[in-house]
Amino acid sequence: MASFRSFLFEKGIKLSVERALRKGISERGMDEKRQMLDTVARKLAKLPKDCKVQKLEIEGLYAEWLSSEHSSEEKVILYLHGGGYAFCSANTHRPLAASIGKAAGMRVLFPEYRLAPEHPFPAAIEDAVNVYRWLLRQGYDPANIIFAGDSAGGGLSVAATLVLRDQNEPLPQAIVCLSPWVDLTGSGESYRKNKEVDPYLTIQGVKDAALMYSGHKPLDHPLISPVFADLTGFPPLFIQAGNHEILQSDAELLAKKARQAGVEVTFKIWDKMWHVWQISGDRLPEAKMAVSEIGNYIKKVLK
């Protein structure tokens, strides 16, 4: 049963989105929209108290190492943030990535991949693959690397793994997907079923983001919408989604396709949770529980 606090959170998100729409956020330029999202996200959660942030550059990309006092030096989570491939940054997702790293007892590498519409498909995939290859060149064992991502970052984690598999490169030990956006055609039932309860994602908004990212390529391209790919040979998948989000079907389809391909899948739908609720941090009981489950899963697969 969802907590009363989650009920208040969801109502607050809905009111905030309605207020932003009344102020004409949809008419603003991309830079202003991104700045507004950064400002809002900073209020949602805080970094773990002992988190250390080390800035670096990888293949021309800004990136950060996130770690705590007890983080393993040999094991790493490569975290790919969400935001419809067009928004968000380390500023918006640093607390979530750091919290997952702390729960797993591992360092997190957080790159800021190139964003659409300035850099449409396949720029983000190229960046994710290049950062992974950089990790391998630093001496990290693929068996000690986890791909993780939320929303578009979840889809990006799967797409990058497809590229690596098809080029016969070593794969990460597992993939963690939070509310993954993996069907940019919007074919799932939840787009209709959950459109009234989803507190901030809209069908039109998702369609607009899909067209920005795809760069006029077919939306059912397997690297754009990985639910249309053959996932044979994939590492284990861990998936969380909520039944108050229009992307619920994306997660369900991903789990189904993976299982059909013989992939080990750990999948849970959270009652009355919305898109990437995990980002709400310690203030939301369900976010704390979800991050704890992610941490326990990663510890298990990286014994």
Asked if 234 and 261 count as a contact pair (C-beta separation under 8 A), the reply is yes
Per the annotation, the verdict on 244 as an active-site residue is no
Asked if 294 and 276 count as a contact pair (C-beta separation under 8 A), the reply is no
What is the phi/psi pair of residue 107, to 5°? -75, 155
Catalytic choice (6, 67, 71, 151): 151
Per the annotation, the verdict on 151 as an active-site residue is yes
Sorted by sequence, the CB contacts under 8 Å of residue 237 that are 6+ apart come out as 174, 175, 177, 254, 255, 258, 263, 264, 265, 266, 267
Catalytic choice (67, 275, 280, 286): 275
What six digits make up the tokens of 160? Answer: 């990058």
Catalytic choice (10, 64, 112, 245): 245
Distance CA 46, CA 58 (A): 25
- Concatenating the DSSP letter of every residue in the chain gives ---HHHHHHHHHHHHHHHHHHHTTGGGS-HHHHHHHHHHHHHTT----TT-EEEEEEETTEEEEEEE-TT-EEEEEEEEE--STTTS--HHHHHHHHHHHHHHHTEEEEEE----TTTS-TTHHHHHHHHHHHHHHHTT--GGGEEEEEETHHHHHHHHHHHHHHHTTPPPPSEEEEES----TT--STHHHHTTTT-SS--HHHHHHHHHHHHTTS-TT-TTTSGGGS--TTPPPEEEEEETTSTTHHHHHHHHHHHHHTT--EEEEEETT--TTGGGGGGGSHHHHHHHHHHHHHHHHHT-
Known catalytic residues?
A: 151, 245, 275
